[in-house]
Amino acid sequence: MRVEAEGVDVEIAGRTIVAGAVLRAEPGTVVGLLGPNGSGKTTLLRTVHRALRPHAGTVHVGGDDVWRLAPRTAARRTAVVMQDDPTDFEFTVREVVELGRVPHQGLLSRDPAADAAIVADAMLTARVDGLADRLVSTLSGGERQRVFLARALAQSTPVLVLDEPTNHLDVRAQVELLELLRGLGVTVVAALHDFNLAAAYCDDVVVMRDGRVVAHGPMADVLVPDLVSRVYGVAVARGTNPLTGRPSFTFAPLPQLEENPCPSPASPLQPSPLP
């Protein structure tokens, strides 16, 4: 299912957080949202999954404006794993994952056996089946992250939105998670910090700084050293990962920052507008 955000502006307490943002994800692709801390990635993601209404612009999922969809319909299209998911409740892992089935349940349309099978499969896929009866509040950060992923998988949606899904995970778990996401065949939009993971697993990327999208398009075309250096203020060398054949990046401090470390949206570093 296609995700499309056009000209999204968000203001909070009179301050512009996101301005004129564009994001497009074709069905079945993995799109990485990259940028320094505070660049607006999480805010833009929140507009995509209907948690935050933009002051201007539109967000469409499956061709429909998300704010014209009923909440239950929207929840059947997009599942979310955010960094700030609450963890202080006394729910078991199984109970949390079962919440993913709520959008599909109605007074006359419950199928407990089917729901239980979907929940069990989601826990197995996310590798939390052995934790099913544990309280979420007793788990490590990495374990909790996998629980919330299992809840999203149980939601059975064609779109997944994830904010720093590899946070709290060790290297093996990070790779396994992104391999899993690529293999699902659904549309994935994920904020990421690790450039090498983004290069290894993303089809397209969106790069943000100071609330604006400064580049977007195919990963290999966008993540060129000059742009990355200007956005992050570091020296960048791009090579090829010998294990995957995909780009890989090495970083070092710059001797001194340029006066204008960030390209403007009109910079020649920005790829052509998406079709």
How would residue 267 be classed by pLDDT, with cut points 50, 70 and 90? very low
Burial environment of residue 147 by CB neighbours within 10 A (0 to 12, 13 to 18, 19 or more): buried
By percentage, how much of the chain surpasses pLDDT 90? 83
Asked whether the CA dihedral 194, 200, 201, 204 is positive or negative, the reply is positive
DSSP string, 105-158: --TT---HHHHHHHHHHHHHHTT-GGGTTSBGGGS-HHHHHHHHHHHHHHT--S
Give the mean pLDDT of 255-273.
Answer: 50
pTM score, whole prediction: 0.89
Helix (H, G, I), strand (E, B) or coil at 251: strand
Q: pLDDT digits over 60-93, tens only?
A: 999 999 999 999 999 999 999 998 667 677 899 9
For the chain, domain boundaries:
3-223, 224-261
Q: pLDDT digits over 141-191, tens only?
A: 889 999 999 999 999 999 999 999 998 889 999 999 999 999 999 999 999
Give the mean pLDDT of 113-126.
Answer: 96
pLDDT attached to residue 264: 47
Q: pLDDT digits over 188-202, tens only?
A: 999 999 999 999 999
Burial environment of residue 192 by CB neighbours within 10 A (0 to 12, 13 to 18, 19 or more): buried
List 59's β-bridge partners, or say none.
5
3-223: CATH class: alpha beta
Mean residue pLDDT of the chain comes to 91
Rounded Cα distance, 20 and 5, in Å:
10
